[in-house]
Every structure is written in C-alpha cells, then in structure tokens.
Amino acid sequence: MTTPTHQVVIAGAGPVGLWLAAELRLHGAEVTLLETRTEPDPHSRATSLHPRTLEMLDSRGLLEPFLAEGVRIPAGHFAALPARLDYTRLDTPHRYTLALPQARTEHLLAEHAVAAGADLRRGHRVTGLTQDDEAVTVHVEGPDGPYRLRTAHLVGCDGSRSTVRRTAGIDFPGTPATFWAWMGDVVLDTPPRTPALANERGALMVFPLPGGIHRVVGNDAATNRTRPDGPPTFDQLRTKVRHIAGTDYGMRDPGRLSTFGNAARQAAHYRHGRVLLAGDAAHSHFPAGGPGLNVGLQDAFNLGWKLARVLHGTAADTLLDSYHAERHPVGAELLRSTRAQSGLMADHSPETLALRDLLGELIDGVPTFSDTLAARSAGLAVRYPAAPDGPEAHPLTGTRAPDLHLGATTLFTLLRPGRPVLLDLTGSTRPDHLARPGLTLHSAPLTRPHPGWDTATAALLRPDGHLAWRTDAPDGPGPAAAAALTASGLVP
C-alpha cells in the first residue's frame, strides 16, 4: 500500500469540523477540510454557546472575540418552562449562556482554523469512501471535477444526513419525528418579560440575539402533530404567536423562518476503522435548549488530542476507541434529555400542563434539583469513566476540572498549549524529576479556595481539562505521580 498523502481529512466545515481542525493543528497534525458550500451559511440554526463550551474556548485563549459579539444570559431552560435554571450558581467562571448566532460562531472558528494552518476547501463535496488497513480513500467532487484523497483518518462532521456515516456503513438508529415546531428571527417592539409560555393552545419561547433581533420558537396544539409543507409565512407566524400569547409583541422585519421536528437518532459507532464521526453526524435530536452545537464542539475537543497523538505515534491506535467509549454515552444522554423535553413541550393536555407546573415549582424551590439540571444543560456534568488499566481512581476522576487559581495563573491558562498538565499543589517543590516531553509542569498552591479541591496535593489533567489522576496525600507529586504519568498514557 502507498503511504497516505494526508493525515486527516474532515468532511464538513461547520463549527464542529472547524473546531476539530483547529485542535488538530494545535498539535501539529495536517488537516484538510472539505465543505460542500461555496460560501458560509448566513443562516443560524443554533444560537447559543453553553458554559462548558465557553470554558473550552477559554482554555485555548479564544474566548474574547466570542464575548465581544454575544449576549450573556445568566440562565438556561428545561423544556421551555417559565422557571429558569440559574446559571449564576454554577461552578465555572462563565455562569451564563452566550447568545451568538451560529453564523458568527462559524466565522470566528473558520478564522481560527485557517490561521492555524488548516486547508479549507469550499465547494468540495465528499461523495464516498473506501478504507483499508493503511488509509481511507475519500471520493470528492470539486469545482474542477472529481478527485480522490488518500488519508490516514477521515472524520465526518457533515451533519445529520452525513455522507461519511452512510458510506462507511455506520447505522443511525432512532425514532422519526412525531411532532413539529416552528421558529422565526424577528424584531419585537415589545418583547415579553418572561421568555417562556405554555397553555392549552401551545407553547412559546422568545429570546434575544445580537443586533436587536429575537428568536421566536413555538408549537401550536392544533397542528403540531401534522408534518408541515414548509416554513410558515410571516403572517402565519404572527397569527400563531397571537393565538398562543394573545399578542404578537410588535413583531416585524422577519428574517429566517423555519420548521423542525423531534426525530432523534444516534450513530451506533463513533468509530469504524479509520473513519470517525462528530457532531450532528453522530447524533441528531430536537433542539431543546440548543445543546447540539455545544455537544458537537465537545465531541471535537475530546477527539482532537487523541487523534493527533495517534498520528504522531505517541499513543496506540486503541486510544481512538476511548473516543466512542467516552462520547457515545454523552450522546445517548443528550437524546434522553431532548426527548423528555420535547414530550413536555408537545403535549398541551391538562395533565402535561400540571406536570410542567410541578417541575417549575421544583426548579424554583429545590436548589439541588435546579442546580443538577443546570449543570447538565450547561455541559458541566459530563464525567468520563476511569481507565480500567490506569492509576487508582480518585472520586473526581473523569470530571472536568474547574479553572483553579494557581499562583499567578489559572488552570485554563495552563491548558492553552493543548498538553496534559501535572500540578504540584503543595507548592513546596519543583517536580522536575517528573518532566516528560509534551507535559506542562506547574508547582503552586491554590490561591483561591475551591470546593472539592482544597485537600488536593497533586493532579494530572488531560489536554481537554478532564481529571486523569489526583491525590490528597501529604507528599503531593511523589512516587505515585510518576506511576500515574506512566499508567495514564498521556505522555510518551
């Protein structure tokens, strides 16, 4: 067999593909992005970045341009209940959802990926693939006709109708749509004081976007079980909103109008040989709370450093199996949550309205219940299983680490090079004997107390910020740290 001429080809240059490309370039991998569209999509399906996504951007030094354009909303929602999930109590420096249209997120990520050296080819459509033990041959239709690329790995970030997934033979089981909702981006002269409303006539949610625009999303009880012929007209949208809310909030100047259903599917495997899937190509669902874009970006954050290490020969190919093992359960939980929310949003019977009222009372009145839902919707509750052959697991192993303050720096700052980080939290020694290629060493005590971390004396963080090993023993990074480094497989 001939040697692959490309290290990684990514099908799809939406936010997930662009973020993955940038992560791979951070580690020096060669990346080619193939995007069917000749120009970026000006329309935005997703409109928000969640706290965990903002942490990821922060831990790569990319957050400020996003904050400069977005609108911070210190709350989230579950099933469009009027009772809001309070993000101000979350254990993160980013206690808010950032309202930012997907088109702007994609623009900023494209600038970053191209500046990092990714080869972005617009107007190039993946039409098929074949793979063998050595490489993947990608069939492409470009502006000048068909051609082929031979690559070590192909990643499908090409959406819910993924050509990569289909031609790789990866099943996409799930459930078809049983109800439909509608949305419109409009100007509102008198926006509602509360963002969510549900009654026997339907459900409605209204939230702000940058530029004085509001997105209005809803479904009406009389028609939401009938597949629509197409998006509503502006007059139809205004009539539906008036029917549910008794007012149209001074709606005018419509932008994008669309409909969507509650079909839910998940790829049976996120890896098939040298082909991998991320984002909507791996999971498709009802957009309750806007988690899809965020979970897709988090897929890429998990995959990027692993794929780069395999390409560079510093990790065995089996490391890529952990991508499916860690992210497939996250996708399954995503489908469970969005299915539960869509059920609460689609049914307007007295029984379901009573259930919504009860859940709202629990969110408002039981902080532990509300905080659990908030952490899950914010993406902060993800926990990966400890490696079966790794070091003895601390109770927090697999959780994402908070932005610890460590002397004159913070953990997210230390993570910016994309390397694993070994912390000596005693601050009493310089553990130079633990130095390894590609490892960041830092010795400093916590300069701000942090719940759950005040007793820690040493910790090893993965490049994605999840905890690989920790000890509370008085000797800190002693012999156990050296053993943990070896067992973790994070360094050569």
Give me the percent of the chain exceeding a pLDDT of 90. Answer: 86
pLDDT higher than 70, residue 391: no
pLDDT in tens, 335-360: 999 999 999 999 999 999 999 999 99
pLDDT higher than 80, residue 389: no
Q: Tell me the backbone φ, ψ of residue 131, rounded to 5 degrees.
A: -135, 155
pLDDT score, position 430: 66
CATH topology of 180-261 equal to that of 405-488? no
Q: Does CATH place domain 180-261 in 1.20.120.140?
A: no
14-23, 270-279, 382-391, 413-422: which range is least confident on average? 382-391
User: How far, in Å, CA of 114 to CA of 112, rounded?
Assistant: 6
pLDDT score, position 317: 94
- Please, are residues 465 and 59 in contact by the beta-carbon 8 Å criterion? yes
Give the fold, CATH level 3, of 405-488.
Glutaredoxin (3.40.30)
256-265, 303-312, 469-478: which range is least confident on average? 469-478
pLDDT in tens, 22-51: 999 999 999 999 999 999 988 888 899 999
User: How far, in Å, CA of 466 to CA of 403, rounded?
Assistant: 11
pLDDT mean over 50-58:
98
Instruction: Give the bridge partners for 264, in sequence order.
Output: 175
Strands 145-156 and 275-277: parallel
Instruction: Give the type of residue at 113.
Output: A
User: How far, in Å, CA of 487 to CA of 379, rounded?
Assistant: 28
Residue with the larger pLDDT of the pair 475 and 71: 71
pLDDT in tens, 287-331: 987 889 999 999 999 999 999 999 999 999 999 999 999 999 999
Average pLDDT for the chain = 94
pLDDT mean over 3-8:
83
pLDDT in tens, 141-182: 999 999 999 999 999 999 999 999 999 999 999 999 999 999
Q: Tell me the backbone φ, ψ of residue 306, rounded to 5 degrees.
A: -70, -45
Give the fold, CATH level 3, of 6-47+101-175+264-346.
FAD/NAD(P)-binding domain (3.50.50)
pLDDT higher than 90, residue 5: no
- Please, are residues 427 and 444 in contact by the beta-carbon 8 Å criterion? yes
pLDDT higher than 60, residue 286: yes
User: How far, in Å, CA of 443 to CA of 383, rounded?
Assistant: 26
Strands 202-209 and 213-220: antiparallel
CA distances from 62 to 58, 59, 105, 474 (A): 6, 8, 12, 36
pLDDT score, position 432: 78
pLDDT score, position 429: 64
pLDDT in tens, 428-461: 766 778 889 999 999 999 999 999 999 999 999 9
pLDDT score, position 331: 97
Predicted model pTM? 0.96
User: How far, in Å, CA of 184 to CA of 170, rounded?
Assistant: 34
pLDDT in tens, 95-134: 999 999 999 999 999 999 999 999 999 999 999 999 999 9
Q: How far is CA 313 from the centre of its chain?
A: 27
Which sign, positive or negative, has the C-alpha torsion 403, 409, 414, 420?
negative
pLDDT score, position 1: 42
pLDDT score, position 390: 60
- Please, are residues 153 and 311 in contact by the beta-carbon 8 Å criterion? yes
User: Reduced to 3 states, what is the DSSP secondary structure of residue 337?
Assistant: helix
pLDDT score, position 106: 97
Return all residues near 481 (Cβ < 8 A) that are at least 6 apart. 422, 431, 434, 458, 460, 469, 471
Q: Tell me the backbone φ, ψ of residue 361, rounded to 5 degrees.
A: -65, -40
pLDDT score, position 388: 67
User: How far, in Å, CA of 191 to CA of 175, rounded?
Assistant: 35
**Residue ranges covered by each domain of the chain:** 6-47+101-175+264-346, 180-261, 405-488
pLDDT higher than 80, residue 387: no
Q: Which two tokens stand for residue 447?
A: 């300069």
User: How far, in Å, CA of 492 to CA of 478, rounded?
Assistant: 19
Give me the percent of the chain exceeding a pLDDT of 70. Answer: 98
